[in-house]
C-alpha cells in the first residue's frame, strides 16, 4: 500500500491548476445511462473513483475510453440493470446509477453501499424519492430492488438537503411522466453542472442551484458533450497548502465563486486572498488568527474542506471552534493531528483547536478517508521533520496527482510504494 512521505518546513509558492470536479464527474457519468449513443466529457479528472465509475458502466454494458482528460462513454441498449456489490463497495457514489437505470429500464438492482469511515451515510432519502415517483422498492440480500411500470412526476420534499439524493431523483425524473418538484434540494455547484448536462441531453430541468428544482419529464434523451466544472475542494485544498506554509499560491482553472465560504473564513483569519477570472491567490501571510467554522450544505462552509481547514487552524494564533453538522463522524483526522503534536479537543460534532504556529512534529499517521488524507498531508508540510501518511490510496480516490502538484510548488513529498 502506497504511503506519502512529507518533509515539512518548505514554503509553497507558484501557480497550479485545479482539475475537473470528482463530485461532478461521477453523477455525469451515471447520467449517461439515460440515453444511448456517445457521451463526451472534457476536463475529467484522472482518479481512482472515475475508474470505478467506468468499471461500473462497463459492467452495465457500456464502453468507456479515457484519453487526455476526455472521457467517451458509449451507451448501448442495455440488457443489464444490476450494479454488483464488488463494484459498489469501492465507491458509495455508485448508488447514483439507481435513478437513471430505473427511469430507463423500469427496474434496477443495485447493491447497498454500506457504511463508511465518515458515518453511516444512509440512502433512505434517495429511496423515498423513487417511491414518491411510483417505484416499488425492496431490499433483499444486500441489494436494493426497484421496479416500476413507469415513473410518475411527484412532489418530493427532502427532510434534509442531500446531494446524492437530489442528483438521483433529478436524473430519474427526466424520463418520468409529468412534472417533478424537488423541495429542499441540495444547491451544490455539482448539481447545477449535472442539470446543465441533462438539459443538453434534452431534459427540462429548471431551478438547479436553488432549493426548488422543477423537472418536466420527456420521452427520450440523447447523448451530448460537456466540460466538467473545476474541483472546488481540490482548489481549496491547494489554496490552504499555500496558506499553511505562509507562501503565495495561485490556483488557476478554478471557480472562485464556488470557494466563497472558504475565502471569507481565510480572510477573517488574516489571509489576503485575491481573485481574478478563474484564478484565486493566497498571498504571503504571517500570524493568522484562529476562526470558528460550521460546516453545512452549500453555500455554507463545505464539510469536504473541514479537515484541511483544521490543519490550517493548528498553525493559527488562538483558538478555533470547528463544528461539523453534515456528517456525524467526521473527526477521524483529529487523533492523527494530535499524533503530530496538535492541541485539539474533539467532542462529538465540535472540535476545539488551540493553534500554536510551528508546534507540529512529524510522525507516522494513518489516513482514514479522502479529505482526512489531504488534511494530514497539509499538516505534514509544516511539521518538523518527516510525516509519513499511510493508506494514501484514499487520496488517489479524489486528488489527481497531488504530490506532483505540491512538488511543483516547492513541497518535499514522495510517494513510497
Ligand atoms: C456528497 C459528496 C461528498 C460530500 C457530501 C456533502 C459526492 C460524490 N459526494 O456526498 O463528497 O461530503 O455530498 O457535501 O458528491 N443522508 C441521509 N439519507 C440519505 C442521504 C443522505 O440521511 O438518503 C444524510 C447523510 O448521512 C449526511 C447528509 O445527509 O449526513 C448529507 O449527505 P449527502 O448530501 O447525501 O452526501 P453524499 O451525496 O453522500
**What DSSP string describes 343-365?**
-EEEETTEEEEEE-TT--B--EE
DSSP 129: H
Nearest CA to ligand 1 atom 12: 304
pLDDT in tens, 205-250: 999 999 999 999 999 999 999 999 999 999 999 999 999 999 999 9
**Please, which residues bridge with residue 72 across strands?**
40, 65
Q: How confident is the model at residue 118 (pLDDT cuts 50, 70, 90)?
A: low
76 CA to centre of ligand 1 in angstroms: 30
User: Quick one: pLDDT band at residue 390, thresholds 50, 70, 90?
Assistant: very high
Q: What cell does 145 get?
A: 430492488
**177-198: b (≥16 Cβ within 10 Å) or e:** eeebbbebbbbbbbbbbbbbbb
Contacts of 266 (CB under 8 A, 6+ apart): 239, 240, 243, 273, 282, 312
Rg (CA), the chain: 21
Q: How far apart are CA 354 and CA 341, in angstroms?
A: 11
Q: Specify which residues 216 forms β-bridges with.
A: 179, 204
Looking from the CA of residue 26, the nearest atom of ligand 1 is 8
Cell reading at 396: 488517489
Q: What is the mean pLDDT of residues 112-137?
A: 84
With 70 as the cut, is the pLDDT of residue 320 above it? yes
Q: Whose CA is nearest to atom 33 of ligand 1?
A: 162
Ligand 1 atom closest to the CA of 297, numbered from 1: 14
- List active site positions: 116
Q: Which residues have any ligand 1 atom within 6 Å of their CB?
A: 23, 26, 93, 119, 121-126, 160, 162-165, 186, 190, 303-304, 326-327
From 96, 127, 163, 300, the mutation candidate for ligand 1 (largest count of ligand atoms within 8 A of CB) is 163
Residue 163 CA to ligand 1 center (angstroms) comes to 5
Distance CA(78)–CA(59), nearest Å, equals: 10
Size (the chain), residues? 417
Q: What pLDDT sits at residue 89?
A: 87
Residue 196 C-alpha to ligand 1 middle, in angstroms?
21
- Quick one: pLDDT at residue 80? 74
Q: Which of 37, 43, 42 is nearest to 73 (CA)?
A: 37
Residue 115 has pLDDT above 60, yes or no: no
Mind listing the pLDDT tens digit for each residue in 41-65?
999 999 999 999 999 999 999 999 9
Give the strand pairing for 82-83 and 412-416: unpaired
Average pLDDT of the segment spanning 336-349? 95
- Among 29, 123, 156, 164, which residue has the most ligand 1 atoms within 8 Å of its CB, making it the best to mutate? 164
Contact 370, 396 (CB under 8 A): no
Sequence-distant (6+) residues with CB within 8 A of 348 are 328
Report whether pLDDT(119) > 80: no
Q: Which atom of ligand 1 is nearest to the CA of 92?
A: 39
Q: Residue 131 has what pLDDT? A: 97
Residue 358 CB neighbour total at 10 angstroms:
11
Nearest CA to ligand 1 atom 17: 122
Ligand 1 centroid to 117 CA: how many Å? 13
Band of pLDDT at residue 331, cut at 50, 70 and 90: very high
Ligand 1 atom showing the smallest separation from residue 119 Cα? 26
What value does the mean pLDDT take over residues 153-178?
A: 97
Q: Ligand 1 centroid vs 297 CA: distance in angstroms? A: 9
- Nearest atom in ligand 1 to the alpha carbon of residue 93 is 8
Mean pLDDT of the chain: 95
Ligand 1 center from residue 365 Cα (angstroms): 26
Which are the contacts of 366, defined by CB distance < 8 A and separation ≥ 6? Answer: 336, 389, 390, 391
Amino acid at each position: 500500500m502506497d504511503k506519502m512521505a512529507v518533509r515539512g518546513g518548505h514554503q509553497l509558492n507558484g501557480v497550479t491548476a485545479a482539475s475537473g470536479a470528482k463530485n461532478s464527474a461521477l453523477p455525469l457519468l451515471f447520467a449517461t445511462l439515460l440515453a444511448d449513443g456517445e457521451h463526451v466529457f472534457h476536463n475529467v479528472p484522472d482518479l481512482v473513483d472515475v475508474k470505478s465509475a467506468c468499471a461500473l458502466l462497463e459492467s452495465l454494458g457500456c464502453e468507456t475510453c479515457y484519453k487526455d482528460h476526455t472521457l467517451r462513454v458509449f451507451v448501448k441498449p442495455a440488457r443489464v440493470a444490476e450494479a454488483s456489490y464488488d463494484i459498489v463497495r469501492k465507491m458509495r457514489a455508485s448508488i447514483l446509477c439507481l435513478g437513471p437505470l430505473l427511469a430507463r429500464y423500469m427496474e434496477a438492482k443495485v447493491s447497498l453501499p454500506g457504511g463508511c469511515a465518515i458515518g453511516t451515510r444512509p440512502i433512505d432519502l434517495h429511496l423515498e424519492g423513487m417511491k414518491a415517483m411510483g417505484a416499488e422498492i425492496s431490499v433483499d440480500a444486500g441489494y436494493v430492488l426497484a421496479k416500476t411500470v413507469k415513473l410518475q412526476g411527484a412532489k418530493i420534499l427532502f427532510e434534509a438537503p442531500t446531494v446524492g439524493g437530489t442528483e438521483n431523483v433529478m436524473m430519474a425524473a427526466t424520463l418520468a411522466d409529468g412534472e417533478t418538484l424537488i423541495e429542499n434540494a441540495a444547491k451544490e455547484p455539482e448539481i447545477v453542472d449535472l442539470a446543465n448536462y441533462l438539459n443538453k441531453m434534452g431534459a427540462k430541468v429548471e431551478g438547479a442551484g436553488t432549493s426548488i428544482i422543477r423537472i418536466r419529464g420527456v420521452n427520450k434523451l440523447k447523448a451530448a458533450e460537456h466540460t466538467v466544472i473545476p474541483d472546488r475542494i481540490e482548489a481549496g485544498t491547494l489554496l490552504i497548502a499555500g496558506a499553511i506554509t505562509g507562501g503565495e499560491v495561485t490556483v488557476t482553472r478554478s471557480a472562485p465563486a464556488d470557494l466563497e465560504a472558504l475565502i471569507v473564513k481565510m480572510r477573517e483569519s488574516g489571509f489576503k486572498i485575491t481573485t481574478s477570472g478563474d484564478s484565486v491567490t493566497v498571498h504571503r501571510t504571517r500570524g493568522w488568527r484562529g476562526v470558528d467554522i460550521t460546516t453545512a450544505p452549500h453555500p455554507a462552509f463545505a464539510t469536504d474542506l473541514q479537515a484541511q481547514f483544521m490543519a490550517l487552524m493548528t498553525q493559527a494564533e488562538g483558538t478555533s471552534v470547528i463544528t461539523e453538522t453534515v456528517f456525524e463522524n467526521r473527526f477521524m483526522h483529529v487523533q492523527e493531528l494530535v499524533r503530530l503534536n496538535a492541541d485539539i479537543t474533539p467532542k462529538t460534532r465540535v472540535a476545539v483547536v488551540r493553534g500554536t504556529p510551528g508546534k507540529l512534529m512529524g510522525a507516522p499517521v494513518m489516513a482514514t478517508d479522502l479529505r482526512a488524507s489531504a488534511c494530514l498531508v497539509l499538516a505534514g508540510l509544516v511539521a518538523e521533520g518527516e510525516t509519513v501518511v499511510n493508506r494514501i490510496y484514499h487520496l488517489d480516490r479524489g486528488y489527481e496527482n497531488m504530490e506532483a502538484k505540491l512538488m511543483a510548488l516547492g513541497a518535499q513529498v514522495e510517494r513510497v510504494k
